[in-house]
């Protein structure tokens, strides 16, 4: 672990192994934190808050630390990305691109650190000056998943630090090594010890963080079930949460769309990162006039996707991250087949001759699916696309919104009026028009309904980690009546 600027074992001495999903070989041994370790990390973070080396920094100097860290992560991006590939099996070119994006988040929020302002409120009391001050919440817990460990960690950590908080990170037990590898860069950048801490482990550590009275806020990225449990625990002690949760996103193709672009967008939406992304466009709705043509194109492309070593440049899709996740995908596709879905591509584990023990699942396309079925309503988190036909705009908006999730959606059309009209009616935090699976540091990101609360990225993100103080100053000479409220 990483506590108060030092590498630390778990208090119990417990550890767990990290295995490479490409070949199943264990390659890292990680400390398994318990409640006592969370206590230590929170104590270190609390101490940093009151240390002038951090708590006394001006916002401008705080921002400069984030800018220095950005340069260092940029320098080491490929090295950290290679570790992420060993952890979760995603393509090196995907992970390297994400690691090169992380510095942009740090630079954006580093620049935003000294742009946080209060305001002077014009009271109807001429002798009183009233103004507001935006202050950090305190210690923030950041709990992140395995699919994009560095990017998703810094999407929460960067605004939290820019706002002046200290943080405790709990990465997924699947992808702890890459986060730990980044920690020495903090001291190199000039961050005081204890400002950023990492506890590694599984459920026990996460539950201890959610329940800890010293953590003012939990920023959680992950599944909706876990997110709901964390939100309930934090709410019980009157803490707050930002939740970026699951999705069952609709990708909608109208008959007038550029089918070449829509084909590429549909593939990116579900087979990029092997479908292991919360924004996966796992429900594809295609207007009936072009349904058969686009479906045939997608099936042909899916059957030609190159599976293999994620470090190899020619590989287009790597393995699934864990055996448990692979079993879940298998079960959900088997259930869909039993419910009447037709498997037009994939539908089973895939064997890569050079990597016979790899956790590969074939790119899968299902038709004859109903929008009410399990495969169309539950998050698979794998390379499985459910394709459905529709006739009218009214119908597809109703179908797209008929889910408990609301994270993202895609719309493909040449009709600019329809694009805006449908985007307004879709119940999703992000709507892409004629593109899919895009994200950046200065545009807010988050979900509707069970896809989460709060927003990451953009100016809205730093607001998630600040609290407002109202200061009243009497400028006059009148003595207040102690028994009358001053209104």
The residue among 209, 220, 225 whose CA lies nearest residue 242 is 220
Instruction: Please identify which of the residues 87, 244, 263, 450 carries the catalytic annotation.
Output: 244
- For the question of residue 378 being annotated catalytic, the response is no
- For the question of residue 46 being annotated catalytic, the response is no
Instruction: Please identify which of the residues 263, 278, 378, 450 carries the catalytic annotation.
Output: 278
Q: So which residues are the catalytic ones?
A: 244, 278
């Amino acid at each position: 672990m990483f506590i108060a600027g030092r590498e630390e074992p778990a208090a119990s001495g417990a550890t767990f192994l990290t295995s490479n999903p490409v070949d199943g070989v264990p390659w890292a041994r990680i400390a398994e934190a318990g409640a006592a370790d969370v206590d230590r990390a929170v104590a270190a973070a609390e101490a940093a808050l009151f240390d002038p080396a951090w708590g006394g920094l001006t916002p401008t100097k705080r921002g400069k630390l984030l800018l220095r860290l950005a340069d260092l992560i940029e320098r080491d991006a490929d090295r950290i990305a290679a570790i992420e590939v060993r952890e979760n099996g995603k393509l090196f070119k995907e992970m390297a691109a994400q690691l090169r994006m992380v510095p942009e988040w740090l630079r954006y929020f580093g620049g935003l650190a000294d742009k946080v302002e209060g305001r002077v409120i014009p009271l109807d009391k001429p002798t009183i000056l009233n103004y507001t001050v935006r202050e950090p919440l305190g210690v923030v817990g950041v709990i992140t998943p395995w699919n994009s460990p560095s990017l998703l960690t810094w999407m929460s950590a960067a605004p939290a630090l820019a706002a002046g908080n200290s943080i405790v990170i709990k990465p997924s037990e699947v992808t702890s090594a890459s986060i730990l590898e980044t920690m020495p860069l903090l001291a190199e950048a000039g961050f005081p010890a204890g400002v950023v801490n990492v506890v590694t482990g599984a459920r026990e550590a996460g539950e201890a963080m959610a329940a800890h009275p010293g953590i003012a806020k939990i920023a959680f990225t992950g599944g909706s079930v876990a997110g709901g449990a964390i939100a309930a625990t934090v709410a019980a002690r009157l803490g707050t949460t930002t939740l970026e949760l699951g999705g069952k996103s609709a990708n909608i193709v109208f008959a007038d769309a550029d089918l070449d672009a829509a084909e590429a967008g549909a593939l990116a939406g579900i087979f990029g990162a092997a479908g292991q992304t919360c924004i996966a466009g796992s429900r594809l709705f295609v207007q009936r006039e072009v349904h058969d043509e686009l479906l045939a194109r997608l099936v042909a492309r899916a059957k030609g996707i190159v599976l293999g070593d994620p470090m190899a440049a020619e590989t287009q899709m790597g393995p699934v991250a864990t055996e448990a996740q692979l079993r879940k995908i298998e079960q959900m596709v088997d259930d869909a087949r039993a419910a009447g879905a037709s498997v037009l591509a994939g539908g089973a584990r895939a064997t890569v001759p050079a990597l016979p023990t790899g956790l590969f699942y074939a790119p899968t396309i299902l038709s004859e699916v109903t929008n009410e079925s399990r495969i169309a309503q539950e998050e698979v988190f794998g390379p499985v696309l459910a394709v459905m036909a529709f006739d009218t705009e009214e119908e597809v908006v109703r179908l797209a919104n008929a889910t408990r999730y609301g994270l993202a959606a895609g719309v493909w059309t040449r009709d600019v009026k329809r694009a805006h009209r449908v985007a307004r009616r879709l119940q999703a935090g992000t709507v892409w028009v004629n593109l899919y699976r895009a994200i950046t540091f200065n545009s807010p990101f988050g979900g509707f309904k069970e896809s989460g609360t709060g927003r990451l990225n953009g100016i809205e993100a730093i607001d998630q980690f600040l609290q407002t103080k109202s200061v009243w100053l009497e400028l006059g000479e009148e003595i207040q009546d102690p028994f009358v409220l001053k209104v």
